[in-house]
């Protein structure tokens, strides 16, 4: 971890805070708090580094009463999802923290927060490489910069979808959006599966397909909005068979009454990708090896924007761009 710069009057307090909660998470390349920055030699001469930033703020992305352990995991996993979306293996992350120690049981909150990070570091084989800590007046603000690595030929971008490619998605869609509704008391969630999806996303970190897929994105803004990004960047149309979208059985009734929640809800952190049918067998073998559910939900077509069909082939979208049902 790089040495953390702090205001002079609070130096010792901050140093011991870092030592207490974050030094145990630091990886080897971080030189254990001993330098101005972390140094990362590339794993191969044909590697490319991939870097992404994601914030989480109390009152915006999480509730003050949320488990700090889950907050830590959500923060890290949102960033891991960006690595999947680029076809990259995560190597480590940098943590920027701001909080008001007067409004917080610092010991309790950061103890649990650290446990969440430690648990996911082990699960995903990565470590903390550096960071900075600041005392502010407002709520807790957290930002992670994640660094991953990918072979230069394995980068997955948004702009490569070709007409004739199939459109695939990992996992099931809409659980997190339904989870938010549960937390707001708007729907019930007897087995807690949606609330858990909202709190703890599970991106398919080992499912790297940049060398065989033509375009990809992780679903953070919502299935349709993220699909629009692929369509726009690739300058193609995308036709989606909406009844093929993979759902949990518990989500099915809501899809019938509130399809927009499922289709536009966001925070799924699943991978949406397009692939030439000739590469389908290789892709499916990788999914099977990692025990990841993959579903074909449409195809890349001529045109512009999204075209939504039900299984009878009826076009549910307006002229080119889809808006709302």
Q: How far is the CB of 102 from its own copies (least distance, A)?
A: 13
Could you give the CA distance from residue 50 to residue 254 in angstroms, rounded to a whole number?
Answer: 37
String of contacts with its own copies for each residue 260-299, x by CB under 8 A: ----xxx---------------------------------
String of contacts with its own copies for each residue 45-74, x by CB under 8 A: x-xxxxxxxxx-x-xxx-------------
By CB under 8 A, residue 108 contacts its own copies = no
Which residues make Cβ contacts (< 8 Å) with residue 244, sequence separation at least 6?
295, 296, 297, 298, 311
First and final C-alpha spacing in the chain:
50
Stretch that binds its own copies, among 154-162, 240-248, 275-283, 290-298 (CB under 8 A): 154-162
Stretch that binds its own copies, among 40-48, 110-118, 195-203, 251-259 (CB under 8 A): 40-48
Could you give the CA distance from residue 276 to residue 125 in angstroms, rounded to a whole number?
Answer: 31
By CB under 8 A, residue 101 contacts its own copies = no
Among 16, 19, 24, 39, binds its own copies (CB under 8 A): 39
Which residues make Cβ contacts (< 8 Å) with residue 240, sequence separation at least 6?
167, 224, 227, 297, 298, 306, 307, 308, 309
Stretch that binds its own copies, among 80-88, 190-198, 244-252, 296-304 (CB under 8 A): 80-88
Q: How far is the CB of 58 from its own copies (least distance, A)?
A: 8
Stretch that binds its own copies, among 90-98, 115-123, 246-254, 317-325 (CB under 8 A): 90-98
Among 64, 108, 122, 152, binds its own copies (CB under 8 A): 152
Asked if 113 and 22 touch (Cβ cutoff 8 Å), the reply is: no
Paired with 48 in beta bridges are 150
Could you give the CA distance from residue 316 to residue 320 in angstroms, rounded to a whole number?
Answer: 11
Pairing label, strands 166-170, 127-135: unpaired
Phi, psi of 202 (to 5 degrees): -135, 70
Q: How far is the CB of 107 from its own copies (least distance, A)?
A: 22
Asked if 153 and 264 touch (Cβ cutoff 8 Å), the reply is: no
By CB under 8 A, residue 31 contacts its own copies = yes
Paired with 127 in beta bridges are 92
Which uninterrupted H or E stretch holds 273? Answer: strand 271-275
Helices 11-21 and 106-124: crossing angle in degrees, nearest 10, is 40
Stretch that binds its own copies, among 156-164, 278-286, 289-297, 313-321 (CB under 8 A): 156-164
Tell me how crowded residue 112 is: count the other CB atoms within 10 A of its CB.
Answer: 15
Site size with its own copies, rule: CB under 8 A: 75
Which residue lies nearer to its own copies by CB, 85 or 167?
A: 85
Among 115, 119, 202, 225, binds its own copies (CB under 8 A): 225
Pairing label, strands 127-135, 89-99: parallel
By CB under 8 A, residue 19 contacts its own copies = no
Which residue lies nearer to its own copies by CB, 142 or 297?
A: 142
Among 134, 276, 279, 295, binds its own copies (CB under 8 A): 134
Could you give the CA distance from residue 236 to residue 101 in angstroms, rounded to a whole number?
Answer: 51
């Amino acid at each position: 971890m790089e040495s953390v710069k702090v205001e002079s009057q609070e130096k010792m307090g901050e140093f011991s805070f870092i030592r207490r909660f974050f030094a145990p998470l630091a990886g080897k390349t971080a030189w254990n708090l001993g330098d101005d920055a972390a140094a990362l030699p590339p794993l191969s001469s044909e590697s490319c580094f991939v870097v992404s930033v994601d914030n989480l703020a109390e009152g915006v992305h999480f509730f003050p009463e949320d488990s700090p352990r889950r907050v830590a995991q959500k923060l890290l996993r949102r960033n891991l999802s960006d690595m999947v979306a680029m076809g990259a293996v995560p190597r480590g992350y940098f943590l920027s923290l701001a909080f008001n120690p007067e409004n917080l049981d610092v010991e309790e909150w950061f103890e649990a927060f650290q446990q969440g990070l430690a648990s996911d570091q082990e699960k995903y084989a990565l470590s903390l490489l550096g960071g900075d800590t600041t005392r502010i007046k407002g709520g807790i603000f957290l930002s992670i910069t994640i660094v991953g690595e990918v072979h230069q030929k394995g980068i997955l971008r948004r702009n490569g979808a070709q007409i004739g490619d199939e459109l695939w998605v990992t996992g099931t869609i809409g659980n997190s959006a339904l989870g938010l509704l549960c937390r707001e008391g708007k729907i019930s969630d007897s087995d807690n599966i949606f609330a858990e999806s909202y709190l703890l996303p599970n991106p398919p970190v080992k499912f790297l397909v940049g060398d065989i897929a033509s375009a990809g994105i992780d679903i953070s803004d919502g299935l349709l909005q993220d699909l629009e990004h692929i369509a726009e960047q690739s300058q193609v149309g995308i036709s989606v068979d909406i009844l093929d979208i993979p759902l949990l059985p518990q989500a099915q009734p809501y899809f019938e009454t509130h399809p927009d929640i499922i289709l536009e809800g966001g925070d799924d952190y699943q991978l949406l990708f397009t692939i030439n049918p000739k590469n389908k067998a290789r892709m499916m073998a990788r999914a099977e090896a990692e025990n990841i559910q993959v579903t074909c939900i449409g195809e890349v077509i001529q045109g512009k924007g999204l075209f939504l069909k039900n299984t009878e082939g009826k076009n549910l979208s307006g002229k080119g761009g889809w808006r709302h049902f």
